[in-house]
Amino acid sequence: MTSPVPLPLVGLGGGPLGNYLHPVSDAQAQAVMDKAWESGIRYFDTAPFYGLGLSERRMGRALREHPRAEFVLSTKVGRLVRPGPGDSGGFAVPGDHHIEWDFSRDGVLRSVSESLDRLGLDHVDILLIHDPDRHWPQALDEAYPALADLRAQGVVRAIGVGMNQSRMLVDFVKHTDLDLLLAANQVTLLRRTAFDELLPLCVDRGIPVIAASLLHRGLLAADRPPRDAPAEVHALAATCARHGVPLPAAALQFPLRHPAVSTVLVGAHDPAHVNADLRALHHPTTSAFWDALVT
């Protein structure tokens, strides 16, 4: 799989740094970024949606300490941060801003400009159309051509789409010229919806896939799942225990077994989470273990 931007095995996802599910202090967010850099992570993904701009501000503040040529940064278009109360989308942030959907050409260009302001950087490497589930015509007819123009002008190096569903990603691959995809919650031990059509299509077209949302909001983040977790989770944990493989290791390594997947994103509310994720990602496994786990 090739991409105009080199994609490493692992990247840091910016959702937790936008206070997803619970607050993270500025100091703790900085510590997460510092630990990720110290650990060798050089790909960082964020979006205006994550904390209504908070994740971009925090990532940008940390990344400005490093040479720009030494890291890859992606952000997204489709949601604009606007003043005034509204839905925070699950992020623990003040209610003085809200998100407006906008996949128009003007909206895309405005989004990129505002993202660069929040990041405090002069460019991003990758732009992704973000969750256009209910906006297919405008995303296809306006957002995609705007991103393609930015790529042709050299403003960004690569463009793609990031979504939580496979069906529309397949349509984007068939009808556009994308460099990569971000598939969230589709290439996981619990949800394998991308395997039937999307991943084989990406192999055929040479489009690398970034897999995200692999721990299912913590369900797969510990060897002993919550007691009320679905039976399928407990069965996965039992198989992992029999083979001496941590459940998070299986969850993070599983997508990389498919040739379409080049990269996994990990998220961290705390520096210790970065260490734990990287240990899990590199934990030794055997073919017998995968044969037993994946049926």
**Annotation says 20 is catalytic:** no
Which residue spans within the chain are E strands per DSSP?
Answer: 10-13, 43-45, 72-77, 79-83, 97-101, 126-130, 158-163, 180-184, 209-212, 261-266
Distance CA 265, CA 272 (A): 16
- The catalytic position among 20, 43, 50, 144 is 50
C-beta separation of 199 from 181 below 8 A = no
Q: What is the DSSP string of 82-133?
A: EES----TTB---TTEEEEE--SHHHHHHHHHHHHHHHT-S--SEEEEE--T
Q: Residue 65, SS3? A: coil
Catalytically annotated residues: 50
